[in-house]
Structure 1
Protein backbone atom coordinates (compact mmCIF):
# COMPACT_ATOMS: atom_id res chain seq x y z
CA UNK A 1 0.00 0.00 0.00
CA UNK A 2 1.42 3.35 -1.00
CA UNK A 3 2.23 5.85 1.70
CA UNK A 4 -0.11 8.85 1.68
CA UNK A 5 1.20 12.39 1.76
CA UNK A 6 1.37 13.81 5.27
CA UNK A 7 -0.88 16.79 5.98
CA UNK A 8 0.80 20.08 6.71
CA UNK A 9 0.80 21.56 10.19
CA UNK A 10 -1.45 24.35 8.93
CA UNK A 11 -4.06 21.90 7.61
CA UNK A 12 -4.06 19.91 10.86
CA UNK A 13 -4.63 23.11 12.82
CA UNK A 14 -7.52 24.09 10.52
CA UNK A 15 -9.16 20.72 11.17
CA UNK A 16 -9.05 21.35 14.92
CA UNK A 17 -10.33 24.93 14.52
CA UNK A 18 -13.30 23.77 12.43
CA UNK A 19 -14.03 20.99 14.94
CA UNK A 20 -14.08 23.52 17.77
CA UNK A 21 -16.41 25.68 15.68
CA UNK A 22 -18.94 22.83 15.68
CA UNK A 23 -18.37 21.34 12.22
CA UNK A 24 -18.76 17.60 11.71
CA UNK A 25 -15.92 15.40 10.55
CA UNK A 26 -17.65 14.89 7.18
CA UNK A 27 -18.12 18.62 6.66
CA UNK A 28 -14.49 19.33 7.59
CA UNK A 29 -13.28 16.64 5.21
CA UNK A 30 -15.30 18.04 2.30
CA UNK A 31 -14.20 21.61 2.98
CA UNK A 32 -10.49 20.79 3.18
CA UNK A 33 -10.42 17.87 0.73
CA UNK A 34 -9.30 15.41 3.41
CA UNK A 35 -10.63 11.92 4.12
CA UNK A 36 -13.11 11.68 6.99
CA UNK A 37 -10.98 9.00 8.67
CA UNK A 38 -7.95 11.30 8.60
CA UNK A 39 -9.97 14.17 10.06
CA UNK A 40 -11.15 11.88 12.86
CA UNK A 41 -7.63 10.68 13.64
CA UNK A 42 -6.31 14.24 13.93
CA UNK A 43 -9.18 15.30 16.18
CA UNK A 44 -8.67 12.26 18.45
CA UNK A 45 -4.95 12.98 18.73
CA UNK A 46 -5.68 16.59 19.61
CA UNK A 47 -8.18 15.55 22.30
CA UNK A 48 -5.66 13.10 23.79
CA UNK A 49 -2.39 15.05 23.54
CA UNK A 50 -3.62 18.64 23.03
CA UNK A 51 -1.35 19.05 20.00
CA UNK A 52 -1.38 18.52 16.25
CA UNK A 53 2.38 18.06 16.06
CA UNK A 54 3.81 14.74 14.89
CA UNK A 55 4.51 12.47 17.84
CA UNK A 56 7.64 10.32 18.12
CA UNK A 57 7.24 7.21 15.99
CA UNK A 58 8.41 3.69 16.70
CA UNK A 59 11.30 2.18 14.77
CA UNK A 60 15.07 2.14 14.75
CA UNK A 61 16.74 5.45 15.61
CA UNK A 62 18.72 7.31 12.99
CA UNK A 63 22.29 6.10 12.64
CA UNK A 64 23.54 9.68 12.45
CA UNK A 65 22.74 11.90 15.43
CA UNK A 66 21.28 15.39 14.93
CA UNK A 67 24.72 16.77 15.74
CA UNK A 68 26.29 14.52 13.10
CA UNK A 69 23.71 15.63 10.54
CA UNK A 70 24.58 19.26 11.21
CA UNK A 71 28.27 18.47 10.86
CA UNK A 72 28.04 16.77 7.46
CA UNK A 73 25.54 19.35 6.16
CA UNK A 74 27.86 22.17 7.18
CA UNK A 75 30.84 20.38 5.62
CA UNK A 76 29.09 19.90 2.28
CA UNK A 77 27.78 23.48 2.26
CA UNK A 78 31.29 24.85 2.79
CA UNK A 79 32.92 22.48 0.30
CA UNK A 80 30.45 21.09 -2.30
CA UNK A 81 33.18 18.80 -3.68
CA UNK A 82 33.29 16.77 -0.46
CA UNK A 83 32.75 13.10 -1.33
CA UNK A 84 30.61 10.57 0.52
CA UNK A 85 33.81 8.74 1.40
CA UNK A 86 35.18 11.87 3.06
CA UNK A 87 32.01 12.19 5.13
CA UNK A 88 32.06 8.50 6.09
CA UNK A 89 35.67 8.86 7.28
CA UNK A 90 34.86 12.05 9.18
CA UNK A 91 32.00 10.44 11.07
CA UNK A 92 34.07 7.34 11.75
CA UNK A 93 36.74 9.48 13.40
CA UNK A 94 33.96 10.90 15.58
CA UNK A 95 32.88 7.39 16.57
CA UNK A 96 29.95 6.87 14.16
CA UNK A 97 30.18 4.09 11.59
CA UNK A 98 27.86 4.49 8.58
CA UNK A 99 27.75 3.56 4.91
CA UNK A 100 27.84 5.83 1.87
CA UNK A 101 24.15 5.01 1.27
CA UNK A 102 23.29 6.35 4.73
CA UNK A 103 25.21 9.54 3.93
CA UNK A 104 23.26 9.94 0.68
CA UNK A 105 19.90 9.40 2.39
CA UNK A 106 20.76 11.84 5.16
CA UNK A 107 21.84 14.58 2.75
CA UNK A 108 18.76 14.00 0.62
CA UNK A 109 16.54 14.58 3.65
CA UNK A 110 18.37 17.87 4.15
CA UNK A 111 17.52 18.93 0.60
CA UNK A 112 20.98 18.23 -0.80
CA UNK A 113 21.79 16.00 -3.76
CA UNK A 114 24.96 14.77 -5.41
CA UNK A 115 26.22 15.99 -8.76
CA UNK A 116 29.39 15.98 -10.83
CA UNK A 117 31.41 19.16 -11.17
CA UNK A 118 31.45 20.54 -14.69
CA UNK A 119 34.83 20.25 -16.38
CA UNK A 120 36.16 23.65 -17.41
CA UNK A 121 39.49 24.85 -18.80
CA UNK A 122 42.21 25.49 -16.24
CA UNK A 123 42.70 29.25 -16.19
CA UNK A 124 46.15 30.64 -15.55
CA UNK A 125 46.56 34.24 -14.32
CA UNK A 126 47.27 35.39 -17.89
CA UNK A 127 43.96 33.83 -19.02
CA UNK A 128 42.06 35.55 -16.21
CA UNK A 129 43.56 38.92 -17.17
CA UNK A 130 42.69 38.35 -20.84
CA UNK A 131 39.09 37.50 -20.00
CA UNK A 132 38.76 40.54 -17.77
CA UNK A 133 40.21 42.75 -20.51
CA UNK A 134 37.77 41.26 -23.05
CA UNK A 135 34.80 41.84 -20.73
CA UNK A 136 35.75 45.45 -20.01
CA UNK A 137 36.29 46.27 -23.68
CA UNK A 138 32.87 44.92 -24.67
CA UNK A 139 30.88 45.81 -21.55
CA UNK A 140 29.03 48.65 -23.26
CA UNK A 141 28.52 47.03 -26.66
CA UNK A 142 24.95 47.62 -27.89
CA UNK A 143 22.70 44.56 -28.08
CA UNK A 144 22.03 45.18 -31.75
CA UNK A 145 25.76 45.10 -32.55
CA UNK A 146 25.72 42.44 -35.30
CA UNK A 147 28.80 40.25 -35.51
CA UNK A 148 29.34 37.19 -37.63
CA UNK A 149 29.83 34.13 -35.43
CA UNK A 150 31.79 31.05 -36.49
CA UNK A 151 31.81 27.75 -34.69
CA UNK A 152 34.78 25.65 -33.56
CA UNK A 153 34.30 23.01 -36.26
CA UNK A 154 35.89 20.04 -34.57
CA UNK A 155 34.36 20.65 -31.17
CA UNK A 156 32.26 17.58 -30.26
CA UNK A 157 29.28 19.78 -29.44
CA UNK A 158 29.09 20.76 -33.07
CA UNK A 159 28.41 17.29 -34.35
CA UNK A 160 24.79 16.24 -34.69
CA UNK A 161 24.63 12.60 -33.47
CA UNK A 162 20.89 12.11 -33.74
CA UNK A 163 20.27 9.33 -36.25
CA UNK A 164 17.90 6.89 -34.59
CA UNK A 165 19.36 3.58 -33.34
CA UNK A 166 22.95 4.89 -33.41
CA UNK A 167 23.17 5.34 -37.16
CA UNK A 168 25.97 7.92 -37.08
CA UNK A 169 26.44 11.67 -37.07
CA UNK A 170 27.55 14.52 -39.28
CA UNK A 171 29.75 17.56 -38.79
CA UNK A 172 28.54 21.03 -39.71
CA UNK A 173 29.92 24.50 -40.23
CA UNK A 174 27.65 27.47 -39.77
CA UNK A 175 27.63 31.15 -38.95
CA UNK A 176 25.13 33.71 -37.71
CA UNK A 177 24.74 37.33 -36.78
CA UNK A 178 22.24 39.43 -34.87
CA UNK A 179 20.19 39.45 -38.09
CA UNK A 180 19.84 35.68 -38.20
CA UNK A 181 21.61 32.50 -39.31
CA UNK A 182 23.94 32.49 -42.30
CA UNK A 183 24.92 29.50 -44.38
CA UNK A 184 25.11 25.98 -43.00
CA UNK A 185 27.19 23.32 -44.76
CA UNK A 186 28.18 19.76 -44.06
CA UNK A 187 31.89 19.07 -43.52
CA UNK A 188 32.59 15.61 -44.94
CA UNK A 189 36.36 15.46 -44.43
CA UNK A 190 38.67 16.10 -41.52
CA UNK A 191 39.09 19.83 -41.11
CA UNK A 192 42.48 21.45 -41.66
CA UNK A 193 43.65 25.01 -42.21
CA UNK A 194 43.31 24.94 -45.99
CA UNK A 195 39.79 23.54 -45.85
CA UNK A 196 38.80 26.08 -43.21
CA UNK A 197 39.98 28.96 -45.41
CA UNK A 198 38.09 27.49 -48.37
CA UNK A 199 34.90 27.25 -46.31
CA UNK A 200 35.20 30.87 -45.22
CA UNK A 201 35.93 31.99 -48.76
CA UNK A 202 32.88 30.25 -50.20
CA UNK A 203 30.40 30.80 -47.37
CA UNK A 204 31.26 33.64 -45.01
CA UNK A 205 31.08 36.61 -47.39
CA UNK A 206 27.96 35.26 -49.17
CA UNK A 207 26.35 34.93 -45.73
CA UNK A 208 27.24 38.52 -44.86
CA UNK A 209 25.75 39.75 -48.14
CA UNK A 210 22.59 37.67 -47.71
CA UNK A 211 22.11 39.05 -44.21
CA UNK A 212 22.72 42.59 -45.51
CA UNK A 213 25.46 43.23 -42.97
CA UNK A 214 26.65 46.81 -42.74
CA UNK A 215 30.25 47.68 -43.50
CA UNK A 216 32.58 47.24 -40.55
CA UNK A 217 31.05 44.04 -39.23
CA UNK A 218 33.35 42.01 -36.99
CA UNK A 219 34.22 38.35 -37.53
CA UNK A 220 34.41 36.15 -34.45
CA UNK A 221 35.92 32.70 -34.12
CA UNK A 222 37.69 31.04 -31.23
CA UNK A 223 41.34 30.15 -30.67
CA UNK A 224 41.38 26.79 -32.40
CA UNK A 225 44.91 26.31 -33.86
CA UNK A 226 43.47 26.39 -37.40
CA UNK A 227 42.00 29.81 -36.66
CA UNK A 228 45.14 31.32 -35.17
CA UNK A 229 47.82 29.94 -37.49
CA UNK A 230 50.10 32.35 -39.33
CA UNK A 231 48.59 31.34 -42.67
CA UNK A 232 45.06 31.95 -41.37
CA UNK A 233 45.91 35.36 -39.94
CA UNK A 234 47.57 36.39 -43.19
CA UNK A 235 44.55 35.22 -45.19
CA UNK A 236 42.17 37.20 -42.97
CA UNK A 237 44.40 40.28 -43.26
CA UNK A 238 44.42 40.10 -47.06
CA UNK A 239 40.63 39.73 -47.07
CA UNK A 240 40.38 42.81 -44.82
CA UNK A 241 38.37 40.96 -42.17
CA UNK A 242 38.09 42.69 -38.82
CA UNK A 243 38.52 39.89 -36.25
CA UNK A 244 37.32 40.07 -32.65
CA UNK A 245 40.08 39.50 -30.11
CA UNK A 246 39.32 36.26 -28.29
CA UNK A 247 40.69 35.46 -24.80
CA UNK A 248 42.07 31.95 -24.41
CA UNK A 249 40.91 29.44 -23.30
CA UNK A 250 37.30 30.63 -23.47
CA UNK A 251 34.98 28.19 -25.27
CA UNK A 252 32.17 29.27 -22.96
CA UNK A 253 32.09 32.69 -24.65
CA UNK A 254 31.13 31.26 -28.04
CA UNK A 255 27.49 32.30 -28.62
CA UNK A 256 26.96 29.83 -31.46
CA UNK A 257 26.90 27.04 -28.86
CA UNK A 258 23.35 28.15 -28.04
CA UNK A 259 22.42 27.88 -31.71
CA UNK A 260 23.82 24.36 -31.96
CA UNK A 261 21.84 23.33 -28.90
CA UNK A 262 18.59 24.65 -30.40
CA UNK A 263 19.34 22.90 -33.69
CA UNK A 264 20.03 19.57 -31.96
CA UNK A 265 16.73 19.77 -30.10
CA UNK A 266 14.78 20.51 -33.27
CA UNK A 267 16.51 17.73 -35.22
CA UNK A 268 16.03 15.16 -32.46
CA UNK A 269 12.29 15.85 -32.40
CA UNK A 270 12.05 14.80 -36.06
CA UNK A 271 13.94 11.52 -35.50
CA UNK A 272 15.94 11.17 -38.75
CA UNK A 273 16.33 7.55 -39.85
CA UNK A 274 19.59 7.81 -41.82
CA UNK A 275 22.48 10.16 -42.58
CA UNK A 276 20.84 11.59 -45.70
CA UNK A 277 17.66 12.43 -43.80
CA UNK A 278 19.75 13.84 -40.96
CA UNK A 279 21.51 16.28 -43.27
CA UNK A 280 18.25 17.36 -44.93
CA UNK A 281 16.53 17.91 -41.60
CA UNK A 282 19.49 19.91 -40.28
CA UNK A 283 19.30 22.25 -43.27
CA UNK A 284 15.53 22.63 -42.96
CA UNK A 285 15.60 23.35 -39.23
CA UNK A 286 18.56 25.72 -39.56
CA UNK A 287 16.54 27.82 -42.00
CA UNK A 288 13.70 27.99 -39.47
CA UNK A 289 15.84 29.25 -36.58
CA UNK A 290 14.60 32.61 -35.29
CA UNK A 291 16.68 35.74 -35.73
CA UNK A 292 16.56 36.60 -32.03
Structure 2
Protein backbone atom coordinates (compact mmCIF):
# COMPACT_ATOMS: atom_id res chain seq x y z
CA UNK A 1 0.00 0.00 0.00
CA UNK A 2 2.83 2.38 0.89
CA UNK A 3 4.87 1.69 -2.24
CA UNK A 4 1.87 1.68 -4.60
CA UNK A 5 -0.82 3.94 -3.10
CA UNK A 6 -2.80 3.93 -6.35
CA UNK A 7 -3.62 0.24 -6.02
CA UNK A 8 -7.33 -0.46 -5.78
CA UNK A 9 -8.90 -2.65 -3.11
CA UNK A 10 -10.10 -4.92 -5.92
CA UNK A 11 -6.56 -5.23 -7.28
CA UNK A 12 -5.03 -5.90 -3.88
CA UNK A 13 -7.65 -8.53 -3.11
CA UNK A 14 -7.04 -10.31 -6.41
CA UNK A 15 -3.26 -10.20 -5.93
CA UNK A 16 -3.50 -11.72 -2.45
CA UNK A 17 -6.27 -14.18 -3.41
CA UNK A 18 -8.78 -12.96 -0.83
CA UNK A 19 -12.21 -11.39 -1.13
CA UNK A 20 -12.68 -7.65 -1.52
CA UNK A 21 -14.55 -7.45 1.80
CA UNK A 22 -11.58 -8.97 3.67
CA UNK A 23 -9.11 -6.62 1.96
CA UNK A 24 -11.37 -3.64 2.59
CA UNK A 25 -11.52 -4.49 6.30
CA UNK A 26 -7.73 -4.89 6.38
CA UNK A 27 -7.12 -1.48 4.81
CA UNK A 28 -9.79 0.39 6.71
CA UNK A 29 -9.84 -1.15 10.18
CA UNK A 30 -6.42 -2.76 10.60
CA UNK A 31 -4.23 -0.19 8.84
CA UNK A 32 -6.50 2.76 9.59
CA UNK A 33 -6.54 3.95 5.97
CA UNK A 34 -9.30 4.97 3.63
CA UNK A 35 -9.62 4.83 -0.12
CA UNK A 36 -9.07 8.12 -1.94
CA UNK A 37 -12.35 7.73 -3.77
CA UNK A 38 -15.22 7.64 -1.30
CA UNK A 39 -18.43 6.07 -2.55
CA UNK A 40 -21.64 5.77 -0.51
CA UNK A 41 -22.36 2.12 -1.40
CA UNK A 42 -20.88 -0.67 -3.44
CA UNK A 43 -22.08 -0.53 -7.04
CA UNK A 44 -23.68 -3.72 -8.29
CA UNK A 45 -24.50 -4.78 -11.82
CA UNK A 46 -27.88 -6.20 -12.77
CA UNK A 47 -26.30 -9.65 -13.09
CA UNK A 48 -24.74 -9.40 -9.63
CA UNK A 49 -28.07 -8.41 -8.08
CA UNK A 50 -29.86 -11.25 -9.84
CA UNK A 51 -27.27 -13.79 -8.68
CA UNK A 52 -27.32 -12.46 -5.12
CA UNK A 53 -31.10 -12.78 -5.02
CA UNK A 54 -31.12 -16.24 -6.61
CA UNK A 55 -28.40 -17.62 -4.33
CA UNK A 56 -29.78 -16.02 -1.18
CA UNK A 57 -33.07 -17.80 -1.91
CA UNK A 58 -31.17 -21.08 -2.33
CA UNK A 59 -29.47 -20.60 1.03
CA UNK A 60 -32.72 -19.70 2.79
CA UNK A 61 -34.43 -22.79 1.37
CA UNK A 62 -31.50 -24.93 2.49
CA UNK A 63 -31.66 -23.49 6.02
CA UNK A 64 -35.40 -24.19 6.20
CA UNK A 65 -34.88 -27.77 4.99
CA UNK A 66 -31.92 -28.54 7.29
CA UNK A 67 -32.76 -26.95 10.66
CA UNK A 68 -30.63 -29.35 12.71
CA UNK A 69 -27.49 -29.37 10.60
CA UNK A 70 -24.40 -27.44 11.71
CA UNK A 71 -23.33 -24.78 9.21
CA UNK A 72 -19.55 -24.36 9.25
CA UNK A 73 -18.38 -20.89 8.18
CA UNK A 74 -14.83 -20.15 7.05
CA UNK A 75 -12.83 -17.11 6.01
CA UNK A 76 -9.24 -15.96 5.54
CA UNK A 77 -8.08 -12.73 7.12
CA UNK A 78 -4.91 -10.73 7.64
CA UNK A 79 -4.29 -10.21 11.35
CA UNK A 80 -2.28 -7.02 11.79
CA UNK A 81 -0.38 -5.86 14.86
CA UNK A 82 -1.61 -2.60 16.40
CA UNK A 83 -0.58 0.22 14.12
CA UNK A 84 -2.48 3.41 13.44
CA UNK A 85 -1.88 4.97 10.04
CA UNK A 86 -3.51 8.27 9.14
CA UNK A 87 -2.40 7.98 5.54
CA UNK A 88 -0.37 5.74 3.26
CA UNK A 89 2.70 7.90 3.89
CA UNK A 90 2.54 7.08 7.60
CA UNK A 91 2.77 3.33 7.23
CA UNK A 92 5.77 1.43 8.54
CA UNK A 93 7.22 -1.42 6.51
CA UNK A 94 8.06 -3.22 9.76
CA UNK A 95 4.41 -3.61 10.80
CA UNK A 96 3.75 -7.23 11.77
CA UNK A 97 0.94 -9.23 10.19
CA UNK A 98 -0.04 -12.81 9.46
CA UNK A 99 -2.72 -14.49 7.38
CA UNK A 100 -5.01 -17.06 8.97
CA UNK A 101 -7.97 -19.24 8.12
CA UNK A 102 -10.73 -19.10 10.70
CA UNK A 103 -13.47 -21.72 11.03
CA UNK A 104 -16.55 -21.54 13.27
CA UNK A 105 -19.70 -23.64 13.49
CA UNK A 106 -23.27 -22.44 13.96
CA UNK A 107 -23.32 -24.43 17.23
CA UNK A 108 -20.53 -22.22 18.60
CA UNK A 109 -17.68 -24.69 18.19
CA UNK A 110 -14.43 -23.73 16.48
CA UNK A 111 -11.20 -25.30 15.31
CA UNK A 112 -7.86 -23.65 16.15
CA UNK A 113 -6.63 -20.90 13.78
CA UNK A 114 -4.74 -22.17 10.75
CA UNK A 115 -1.82 -19.92 9.87
CA UNK A 116 -0.97 -19.52 6.20
CA UNK A 117 2.54 -18.92 4.87
CA UNK A 118 2.83 -16.86 1.71
CA UNK A 119 0.08 -16.15 -0.79
CA UNK A 120 -2.79 -18.62 -0.67
CA UNK A 121 -3.45 -20.46 -3.94
CA UNK A 122 -5.78 -23.29 -4.87
CA UNK A 123 -3.19 -26.02 -4.34
CA UNK A 124 -2.28 -24.75 -0.88
CA UNK A 125 -5.93 -24.31 0.08
CA UNK A 126 -6.77 -27.87 -1.00
CA UNK A 127 -3.87 -29.20 1.09
CA UNK A 128 -5.05 -27.23 4.14
CA UNK A 129 -8.58 -28.60 3.77
CA UNK A 130 -7.39 -32.18 3.35
CA UNK A 131 -4.80 -32.27 6.12
CA UNK A 132 -6.05 -29.78 8.70
CA UNK A 133 -9.61 -28.53 8.31
CA UNK A 134 -11.66 -31.59 7.39
CA UNK A 135 -9.92 -33.99 9.82
CA UNK A 136 -10.58 -31.50 12.63
CA UNK A 137 -14.23 -31.13 11.64
CA UNK A 138 -14.71 -34.90 11.33
CA UNK A 139 -13.26 -35.29 14.82
CA UNK A 140 -15.59 -32.59 16.14
CA UNK A 141 -18.85 -33.50 14.43
CA UNK A 142 -18.43 -36.88 12.79
CA UNK A 143 -19.05 -37.38 9.09
CA UNK A 144 -22.23 -36.04 7.51
CA UNK A 145 -23.40 -33.91 10.42
CA UNK A 146 -22.21 -30.56 9.09
CA UNK A 147 -22.04 -28.54 5.87
CA UNK A 148 -18.96 -26.65 4.68
CA UNK A 149 -19.32 -23.09 3.38
CA UNK A 150 -16.82 -20.71 1.83
CA UNK A 151 -16.87 -17.48 -0.14
CA UNK A 152 -15.94 -16.82 -3.75
CA UNK A 153 -12.19 -16.25 -3.38
CA UNK A 154 -10.31 -17.62 -6.44
CA UNK A 155 -8.55 -20.32 -4.41
CA UNK A 156 -11.97 -21.56 -3.25
CA UNK A 157 -13.69 -21.68 -6.62
CA UNK A 158 -11.02 -23.45 -8.68
CA UNK A 159 -12.23 -26.63 -10.37
CA UNK A 160 -9.67 -28.74 -8.51
CA UNK A 161 -10.81 -27.51 -5.11
CA UNK A 162 -14.51 -27.78 -5.93
CA UNK A 163 -14.12 -31.36 -7.20
CA UNK A 164 -12.04 -32.35 -4.18
CA UNK A 165 -14.57 -31.02 -1.67
CA UNK A 166 -17.47 -32.77 -3.41
CA UNK A 167 -15.50 -36.04 -3.48
CA UNK A 168 -14.80 -35.67 0.24
CA UNK A 169 -18.12 -34.33 1.53
CA UNK A 170 -20.60 -35.01 -1.32
CA UNK A 171 -22.79 -32.27 -2.74
CA UNK A 172 -25.01 -32.44 0.36
CA UNK A 173 -22.14 -31.56 2.68
CA UNK A 174 -20.89 -28.55 0.77
CA UNK A 175 -22.23 -25.27 -0.58
CA UNK A 176 -20.62 -25.07 -4.01
CA UNK A 177 -19.48 -21.91 -5.76
CA UNK A 178 -22.98 -21.65 -7.22
CA UNK A 179 -24.43 -21.18 -3.73
CA UNK A 180 -22.59 -18.27 -2.09
CA UNK A 181 -23.78 -14.84 -3.33
CA UNK A 182 -21.30 -12.81 -5.42
CA UNK A 183 -19.97 -9.55 -4.00
CA UNK A 184 -21.64 -10.53 -0.74
CA UNK A 185 -22.78 -8.10 1.87
CA UNK A 186 -21.42 -9.08 5.27
CA UNK A 187 -23.11 -12.48 5.34
CA UNK A 188 -20.27 -14.37 6.97
CA UNK A 189 -20.24 -14.34 10.82
CA UNK A 190 -16.47 -14.11 10.69
CA UNK A 191 -16.77 -10.84 8.76
CA UNK A 192 -19.42 -9.17 10.90
CA UNK A 193 -18.39 -10.50 14.32
CA UNK A 194 -15.43 -12.84 14.79
CA UNK A 195 -12.61 -10.85 13.17
CA UNK A 196 -13.50 -7.65 15.01
CA UNK A 197 -13.85 -9.53 18.32
CA UNK A 198 -10.46 -11.21 17.95
CA UNK A 199 -8.53 -8.23 16.64
CA UNK A 200 -9.82 -5.85 19.32
CA UNK A 201 -8.47 -8.18 21.99
CA UNK A 202 -5.41 -9.77 20.40
CA UNK A 203 -4.06 -6.79 18.49
CA UNK A 204 -4.72 -4.01 21.00
CA UNK A 205 -1.03 -3.80 21.93
CA UNK A 206 2.14 -4.20 19.91
CA UNK A 207 3.95 -7.54 19.81
CA UNK A 208 7.72 -8.12 19.55
CA UNK A 209 7.37 -10.51 16.61
CA UNK A 210 4.88 -12.37 14.43
CA UNK A 211 5.00 -15.49 16.61
CA UNK A 212 3.91 -13.43 19.61
CA UNK A 213 1.08 -11.93 17.55
CA UNK A 214 -0.07 -15.41 16.53
CA UNK A 215 0.07 -16.60 20.15
CA UNK A 216 -2.17 -13.72 21.23
CA UNK A 217 -4.67 -14.49 18.48
CA UNK A 218 -4.66 -18.19 19.38
CA UNK A 219 -5.36 -17.36 23.03
CA UNK A 220 -8.24 -14.99 22.26
CA UNK A 221 -9.67 -17.41 19.71
CA UNK A 222 -9.71 -20.27 22.21
CA UNK A 223 -11.43 -18.07 24.80
CA UNK A 224 -14.29 -16.93 22.55
CA UNK A 225 -17.67 -17.37 24.20
CA UNK A 226 -19.73 -20.14 22.61
CA UNK A 227 -22.99 -18.22 23.01
CA UNK A 228 -21.52 -15.19 21.26
CA UNK A 229 -20.59 -17.33 18.26
CA UNK A 230 -24.02 -18.99 18.22
CA UNK A 231 -25.78 -15.61 18.30
CA UNK A 232 -23.56 -14.27 15.51
CA UNK A 233 -24.37 -17.31 13.37
CA UNK A 234 -28.09 -16.93 14.07
CA UNK A 235 -27.88 -13.47 12.49
CA UNK A 236 -26.78 -15.10 9.23
CA UNK A 237 -30.33 -16.07 8.34
CA UNK A 238 -31.72 -12.57 8.97
CA UNK A 239 -29.02 -11.12 6.73
CA UNK A 240 -29.93 -13.57 3.98
CA UNK A 241 -33.57 -12.56 4.36
CA UNK A 242 -32.59 -8.87 4.20
CA UNK A 243 -30.71 -9.49 0.96
CA UNK A 244 -33.79 -11.19 -0.49
CA UNK A 245 -36.05 -8.35 0.65
CA UNK A 246 -33.70 -5.90 -1.08
CA UNK A 247 -33.93 -8.07 -4.24
CA UNK A 248 -30.18 -8.60 -4.24
CA UNK A 249 -29.30 -4.94 -3.79
CA UNK A 250 -27.30 -3.46 -0.93
CA UNK A 251 -29.21 -3.77 2.33
CA UNK A 252 -26.56 -2.36 4.69
CA UNK A 253 -26.11 1.39 4.70
TM-score (norm 1): 0.52
For the residues of structure 1 that align with 2:68 and 2:195, how far apart are their CA atoms? Answer: 21
Deviates more, 1:224-233 or 1:210-219: 210-219
* Structure 1 vs Structure 2 CA RMSD: 2.5
For the residues of structure 2 that align with 1:205 and 1:259, how far apart are their CA atoms? Answer: 21
SS at match of 2:204: helix
Tell me the residue number matched to 1:248.
Answer: 182
2:123 corresponds to 1:194? yes
Please tell me whether the aligned partners of residues 146 and 177 of structure 1 are also in contact (alpha carbons under 8 angstroms): yes
2:65 corresponds to 1:146? no
For the residues of structure 1 that align with 2:79 and 2:135, how far apart are their CA atoms? Answer: 24
Aligned residues: 171
2:97 corresponds to 1:162? no
Q: What is the CA-CA distance between 1:212 and the residue it aligns to? A: 2.3
2:216 corresponds to 1:281? yes
Please tell me whether the aligned partners of residues 163 and 274 of structure 1 are also in contact (alpha carbons under 8 angstroms): no
Please tell me whether the aligned partners of residues 69 and 145 of structure 2 are also in contact (alpha carbons under 8 angstroms): no
Larger Rg: 1
Task: From 143, 147, 150, give the equivalent of 1:221.
Answer: 150
Please tell me whether the aligned partners of residues 207 and 213 of structure 2 are also in contact (alpha carbons under 8 angstroms): yes
Task: From 46, 55, 67, give the equivalent of 1:125.
Answer: 46
Please list the CA deviations of residues 186-245 of structure 1 after superposition, one character each: whole Å capped at 9, or x if unmatched. 112211111000111122223313432562421111111111111111111221343221
For the residues of structure 2 that align with 1:231 and 1:137, how far apart are their CA atoms? Answer: 24
Deviates more, 1:176-185 or 1:201-210: 201-210
- Is there any run of 5+ residues in structure 2 with no aligned partner, and where? 1-37, 84-91, 231-253
SS at match of 1:218: strand
Task: From 125, 128, 135, give the equivalent of 2:56.
Answer: 135
1:194-213 paired onto structure 2 within 5 Å = 194-212=123-141
The 1:128–1:205 alpha-carbon spacing in structure 2 relative to 1, beyond 3 Å, is same
For the residues of structure 2 that align with 1:237 and 1:147, how far apart are their CA atoms? Answer: 16
SS at match of 1:191: coil
The 1:221–1:251 alpha-carbon spacing in structure 2 relative to 1, beyond 3 Å, is farther
For the residues of structure 1 that align with 2:195 and 2:142, how far apart are their CA atoms? Answer: 22
Please tell me whether the aligned partners of residues 170 and 187 of structure 1 are also in contact (alpha carbons under 8 angstroms): yes
- Is there any run of 5+ residues in structure 1 with no aligned partner, and where? 1-115
For the residues of structure 1 that align with 2:80 and 2:47, how far apart are their CA atoms? Answer: 36
Tell me the residue number matched to 1:262.
Answer: 197
Please list the CA deviations of residues 219-278 of structure 1 after superposition, one character each: whole Å capped at 9, or x if unmatched. 111111111111111111221343221121215222221211111011123543321210
Tell me the residue number matched to 1:177.
Answer: 105
TM-score (norm 2): 0.60
